[in-house]
Structure 1
Amino acid sequence: MKKSLIILLLSLFCLPAAHAQFGVKGGLNVAELTGRNGEDASYKAFYHVGIFYQANILGPLSIQPEVQYSLQGGTLKSAYTNYDTQLHYFTVPVLAKLTVGPVFLEAGPQFGVLLNANQSGDMQVSLAPDGTPAYGNVSRPATGSFKRGDFSVVGGAGLKLSSGFSLGARLVAGLNDINDAKNLAGINDPRLQNRVFQVYAAFQFGAHQ
């Protein structure tokens, strides 16, 4: 899969410049982690920034690979825990884009690589000899608690403005379990999946007026 993605990106970048447009983008991530039993997930605001390359294929259809730095995660809360998780990702969406007038629709897969992770707040920190969990307020690195790879599907829409600017919104839904930790009792924790709502602004260099 990695080889196929590299071949796709290289082929797109070899298209004639007249049929492609580079751009920069950035915006808001509203993210949560879903799937943990016994803890309520809630959304937390983060951000993302990146670059993209829109290659025209046929008529209103184009392909848009992107490279992004995306900060996501969320808040998890129970009767005893209340903590935030920050996940720093390098993401590569590869989207099909349909543009009709000023309106565009986009959808496709996204591949993510976890760079690092941190957790802070009230969480379980140890077990007493009798097996009773102990809780405390901590801030700690948590990269080892999450899988490095993340696969998502992306869907969104937006509006092209004048002078190469555009505004858009997306839903990024994680498909695989990113949890890679065992709890202090030695039992695997439930599945965790990323869910991110994105709102962004973009600028394309050399876009038609």
Structure 2
Amino acid sequence: MKKILLLVAVLFVGTSLFAQDVQFGAKGGLNFANWIGDDADGTDMRTDIHLGAFARFAINENIAFQPELVYSRQGMKVDINGSDVKFKSNYLNIPLLMRTKMADKFHAIFGPQVGIHLNSEADDGDVSVDADNMKGVDLALALGLEYDVADNVAIGLRYNWGLSKVIDADDAKVRNSVIQLGVSVAF
């Protein structure tokens, strides 16, 4: 984890030396999370939140590098023996995004994301969750669109497609799948 945070710090500092313009901001919104994969049959989407901050380093007037630090509540719902169980996983996600202008107020965003698993729990007393079975790092690809509703305010829709298994077991093939609808404000 120290290596990941060091990498993010180096990227922030290194990019700021070459950037023409730097903006910082806050973001937040809704997550529509689920698990996907061979062993994710029967899981349903659960809704929760994400909150975070970002830095936007302009490379030119149409392209910017946008690293983020986002607290994200993810997971899924599943019916176990007639009981609706919500499985909640909390992550500290670090997307390293490129933001490109597509039209007057539209921007495409894309890039890799590293998620650090903070904790997990289930809301049903009959179901035990062993957080030791959750992988500590989750890799994903983030793809999305943003629309500028004002000079420093944007609404965005993003899909975080999990690339790595979230459970540390050979027979459990599930990955995170998160749709994010949010608002960002740049300062």
TM-score category by the smaller chain?
Answer: 0.7 to 0.9
After TM superposition, the score normalised by the length of structure 1 is 0.79
- Cα RMSD for the two superposed structures: 2.2
Within the candidate set 148, 156, 162, 1:174 is matched to: 162
CA distance in 2, matches of 1:174, 1:21: 28
Q: What fraction of aligned residue pairs are identical, expressed as a percent?
A: 25
Deviation at 1:7, TM superposition (A): 2.6
CA deviation string 1:43-90 (max 9, x = no partner): 000110000011100230111000010000011236666422101000
How many residues align? The count is 183
Within the candidate set 174, 177, 180, 1:195 is matched to: 177
Counterpart in the other structure of 1:22: 24
CA distance in 1, matches of 2:26, 2:58: 17
* 81 and 39 in structure 1: CA distance in 2 versus 1, 3 angstrom threshold: farther
Alignment of 1:14-163 (within 5 A): 14-15=17-18, 19-35=21-37, 37=39, 39-77=41-79, 82-99=84-101, 100-121=103-124, 137-138=125-126, 140-163=128-151
Q: Which moved more, 1:103-112 or 1:33-42?
A: 33-42
The aligned amino acid for 2:77 is: T
CA distance in 2, matches of 1:105, 1:45: 24
CA deviation string 1:91-148 (max 9, x = no partner): 1001111123211110000000001110233xxxxxxxxxxxxxxx525453212101
* 36 and 120 in structure 1: CA distance in 2 versus 1, 3 angstrom threshold: farther
SS at 1:138 equivalent:
coil
After TM superposition, the score normalised by the length of structure 2 is 0.88
Q: Which moved more, 1:192-201 or 1:72-81?
A: 72-81
The aligned amino acid for 1:103 is: F
The aligned amino acid for 2:150 is: S
Q: Which has the larger radius of gyration?
A: 1
CA distance in 2, matches of 1:76, 1:6: 38
Deviation at 1:12, TM superposition (A): 2.3
Aligned structure 1 segments of 4 or more residues deviating by more than 6 angstroms: none
* Contiguous gaps of at least 5 residues in structure 1: 122-136, 182-187
CA distance in 1, matches of 2:39, 2:98: 35
CA distance in 2, matches of 1:111, 1:38: 21
CA contact 1:32–1:42 (8 Å) conserved in 2: yes
Matching of residue 10 in structure 1 with residue 49 in structure 2? no
CA distance in 2, matches of 1:72, 1:59: 34
SS at 1:12 equivalent:
helix
CA distance in 2, matches of 1:190, 1:82: 20
Deviation at 1:190, TM superposition (A): 2.0
